[in-house]
Structure 1
Amino acid sequence: MSAPTPVPAGLVEAFRDYERALMEDDVPALDRLFAPGPTTLRGDAQGLLVGHEAISAFRGSRGGAPRRRLVQTHVQTIDEDHALVVAVTELERGGRGQQTQLWARGPDGWQVTAAHVSVPAPALDTRVWRVVGDPLVPGSGDGPLAGQSVAVKDLYAVAGHRTGAGNPAWLATSPTAGEHAHAVARLLEAGADVRGIARTDELAWSLAGANHHTGTPPNPRAPYRLPGGSSSGSATAVSLGHATIGLGTDTGGSIRVPAAYQGLFGIRTTHSAVPVDGLVPLAPSYDAVGWLARDAATLAAVGEVLLPPADEDRAGTDEVVLVPQLLRLAEPAVAAAVRTAVPGGRRATVEQWPLGDLDRWLDAFRTVQAWEAWQSHGAWLEGRLDVLGPDVRGRFEHARTVTDGQADAARAVARGARAAVRSLVGRRVLLLPAASSVAPRVGDDVAATREATLRLTCLAGLAGLPAVTMPVQAGGLPAGACLVAAAGRDQDLLRLAAETQAPRP
């Protein structure tokens, strides 16, 4: 250990204790060696943790640090009770890293008050991408999307590649695609490059973004929190700047939720407005093509390529409606942020809607979704449900039990919900939360959050309506405000979203 000035007594021993505890994953010792209180800092490429409590929770859940050895250690003494330690490390898996620590001596001895850790970036972050290129598939080189890059959710056929649907067993039995899915082909024709094939939750049946087999993509805008799913890889790729367009799908919120959690713009299109040719289904009655972008202009540019021309017979107004019952389904900070997101500074009309059947509508949505999911994949899953992660497996085990009679009864309720929601929205624009909360922390129990979010997202799904998510801030974290309008008014919503966009930080 080198130092230009004398090293304070006890610091070397404390540093060695820290290294030993780190390699042994001795969480109590690490907790003791990090200063208590809300101002202690630990940062890495994924984000910054503030406060001893947050750092301790991270250490307790990560399962240990990568194996390494110290190559160099340098100390800059500030005074007899404070010192900066910079160490160069060599990882067993290859490459070098670096850690910088500010140590302070107090009543309990030497403790770290701030630390930053860096390790070599992976050649391919397999949490985000299944396969990636530079580009993977080049576009036409000309057109309105020239210069744009696309992260394609691993449900769409990409010619020359297999479709993995978020599951290794599915990938192993999937044939190589002979042609692109409709949406992929249109984007390539318009000049965009396919950057790669991005991860998805298994068979797209989740809103969290955590894949049992490939891990949880990071959330760059809300570190150590869930990215949202099931278009998780596409959203994270866009948020990281790896791609400018994230092509995904939305059945129960799989565009809207990751857009909200990661501070992105996203659109779930009118049901059947964009053909689903070449797309692995989940529940065809609700499946819709969608995409994400970091700005409203890019979101709209993709709409010009993928959406049919606006139908003048479906023209509506820009009157915005807020419904208190729906706002109350979200956390207070999210609801407050949504109230301020009225496009163009307009005044919103506040209405009480007859939503007493919302729980029945959600039950019907889930039942139809489950029945259709089993019709779509039951033949393949029969006898091999154990290839699925626990959460998704539980959903398919339930789907297997849904009878035709239950599905018929649920479809009758869903038809009533469709008519009711379409009538309530009318020619106006509904503004509601895209998700009930900010992104939960990785490892949190998300059952209640998922339930509240589905009460919000099922409305557009049941009614087959377009929904555009716009980023807002709630308590310093990303959240989403969602615009919903009549079928076919996708372009109107894209225009309104552009009116709300403020310069990005």
Structure 2
Amino acid sequence: MKHITSDAFLPGPRYRLAATASGPLTKLTFAAKDLFDVAGTPTGAGNPDWERSHPVPQAHAWAVSTLLNAGAELVGKTVTCEISLGILGFNQFFGTPANPAAPGCLPGGSSSGSASAVAAGDCDIALGTDTGGSVRVPASLCGLYGLRTTHGRIPFAGVCAQAPSFDTVGWFTRDATTFARAATVLLEEPVPDLASAPLLVAEDAFALADLEVREALAGPVDLLGRVLGHAPRNIALGMPGELAVWSAQRNILQRHEGWRTFRDWIDATNPCFAFNVARNLTLASGFTDAQAAVAASLRQRVLARARELLEGGAILCLPTTPFTAPPLGLPLQELDALSERISQLTSFAGFAGLPQMSLPLGTAGGKPCGLSILAWHGQDARLVAVAEAIERARS
């Protein structure tokens, strides 16, 4: 499949938007994925027909406004996969943002441009969204800190939705200190002091990763245990084969919700899509309410397992992605297989609405791979505290 490497930012004149006040993020810059509304600027959602058929927003998205009010300067909108449907980062219309950490490779998506911009040093912070892994995956492949927040934790106002019961706001930085500064603002609470906590290692999730990724993350897992004050304890997320079942059912429910989000616009506009996006939407249109109900019922099983593991305060870790950044130019059949492998690692947090943070702690074959930490609902700031402690321990 052909991929034209592009700049992380949307084509056309670059603009800057000054901070609206001084604050804890003064002198920092940020970018926003082209799903976030910026007043007076079109929101394109990665598709020219979306931009053409939607009015220019008159107000900022909540997250954009919050960063501006905290002293950060907006330096532009970044490329996203079309209507956020993509996990590897390519876009037929605007090209594939470069992966500065792995040149010649995919950056991960759909927040690909945001990750690319931060990894290249073009901004300090970049906003993304995570529905099925779209912050976690590019964070891993581009060697960044990235957080999928607890579902509903950050207002989604002013952001193009995909699957509302999965959609979350997240962000990227190159270092944990800057990440924590942004977290204090976006989570509207201070990052706490790190407390001792049990560390759970998801053996079945690690078994899905390439050998080189497992080996690259072994040391970071041990370090994480030392920082948390507990030896790692191996557990299984599910029964044998369950991760694949959860992935398949999460995919049904997410696509069913996505079709309901976009179908009226598609019917009215007849937009042009890349083949893979059009194909996935066509498949989504065929899922029935009964199939979605079965998937939603399985979500309760995943949520119960998450509660059992994490409600008492434990931290869970697993590989963020099962491999490092794939090369550009792979055929669609291979890209589909890679996406399916990723989904088995991202579906647990997505189904259960958990916060999950990818830490840039591994390198395999000269390319980054992330170690993810998960906690119970609302404990996003705890994960940031862990990231800061790990960064201090490594310095």
The TM-score normalised by the length of structure 2 is: 0.91
The answer to whether the aligner puts 1:166 opposite 2:52 as a matched pair is no
Equivalence map 1:213-228=2 (5 Å) = 213-228=93-108
1:264 to 1:353, Cα distance in 2 relative to 1, 3 A: closer
The code of the aligned residue for 1:355 comes to M
Partner of 1:324: 203
| Structure 2 unaligned residues grouped into runs of 5+ | none
The code of the aligned residue for 1:482 comes to S
**For 1:502 and 1:204, how far apart are their aligned partners in 2?**
34
Range 162-171 or range 472-481, more displaced: 472-481
Q: Deviations over 1:99-136 (max 9, x none)?
A: xxxxxxxxxxxxxxxxxxxxxxxxxx964212677752
Give, in angstroms, the shift of residue 168 of structure 1. Answer: 0.7
Give, in angstroms, the shift of residue 311 of structure 1. Answer: 11
On the 8 A contact 2:173/2:179 being kept in 1, the answer is yes
Give, in angstroms, the shift of residue 174 of structure 1. Answer: 1.8
**For 1:311 and 1:222, how far apart are their aligned partners in 2?**
31
**For 1:135 and 1:307, how far apart are their aligned partners in 2?**
27
1:321 to 1:489, Cα distance in 2 relative to 1, 3 A: same
The answer to whether the aligner puts 1:488 opposite 2:378 as a matched pair is yes
Q: Deviations over 1:387-431 (max 9, x none)?
A: 111111111111111111211121111222222223223321111
1:310 to 1:299, Cα distance in 2 relative to 1, 3 A: closer
Give, in angstroms, the shift of residue 450 of structure 1. Answer: 1.2
SS at match of 1:226: coil
Partner of 1:93: none
SS at match of 1:482: strand
Q: Deviations over 1:166-190 (max 9, x none)?
A: 0011111121111000010000000
Higher strand fraction (1 or 2): 1
The answer to whether the aligner puts 1:479 opposite 2:364 as a matched pair is no
**For 1:226 and 1:160, how far apart are their aligned partners in 2?**
31
Partner of 2:391: 501
**For 2:207 and 2:346, how far apart are their aligned partners in 1?**
14
The code of the aligned residue for 2:88 comes to A
The code of the aligned residue for 1:336 comes to E
The code of the aligned residue for 1:218 comes to A
The code of the aligned residue for 1:350 comes to N
Give, in angstroms, the shift of residue 62 of structure 1. Answer: 8.4
CA-based RMSD: 2.4
**For 1:451 and 1:170, how far apart are their aligned partners in 2?**
27
Higher helix fraction (1 or 2): 2
The answer to whether the aligner puts 1:428 opposite 2:317 as a matched pair is no
**For 2:13 and 2:70, how far apart are their aligned partners in 1?**
19
SS at match of 1:458: helix
On the 8 A contact 1:207/1:229 being kept in 2, the answer is yes
Give, in angstroms, the shift of residue 140 of structure 1. Answer: 2.4
On the 8 A contact 1:344/1:500 being kept in 2, the answer is no
**For 1:385 and 1:235, how far apart are their aligned partners in 2?**
30
| Structure 1 unaligned residues grouped into runs of 5+ | 1-59, 64-124
The answer to whether the aligner puts 1:154 opposite 2:38 as a matched pair is no
SS at match of 2:96: coil
On the 8 A contact 1:322/1:349 being kept in 2, the answer is yes
Aligned-residue sequence identity (percent) comes to 36
Partner of 1:192: 72
Give, in angstroms, the shift of residue 309 of structure 1. Answer: 3.0
Partner of 2:162: 282
Partner of 1:95: none
Range 170-179 or range 345-354, more displaced: 345-354
1:322 to 1:474, Cα distance in 2 relative to 1, 3 A: same
SS at match of 1:129: coil
On the 8 A contact 2:191/2:381 being kept in 1, the answer is no
On the 8 A contact 1:156/1:279 being kept in 2, the answer is yes
SS at match of 1:252: coil
Range 345-354 or range 491-500, more displaced: 345-354
On the 8 A contact 2:102/2:325 being kept in 1, the answer is yes
Give, in angstroms, the shift of residue 338 of structure 1. Answer: 2.2
The code of the aligned residue for 1:446 comes to L
Larger Rg: 1
Equivalence map 1:377-388=2 (5 Å) = 377-382=262-267, 387-388=272-273
Partner of 1:25: none
Equivalence map 1:23-38=2 (5 Å) = none
Q: Deviations over 1:288-311 (max 9, x none)?
A: 100000001111111100114379
The code of the aligned residue for 1:278 comes to G
The code of the aligned residue for 1:429 comes to I
SS at match of 1:480: strand
On the 8 A contact 1:133/1:195 being kept in 2, the answer is no
The code of the aligned residue for 1:433 comes to P
**For 2:121 and 2:391, how far apart are their aligned partners in 1?**
18
Q: Deviations over 1:74-112 (max 9, x none)?
A: xxxxxxxxxxxxxxxxxxxxxxxxxxxxxxxxxxxxxxx
Partner of 1:348: 232
SS at match of 2:325: coil
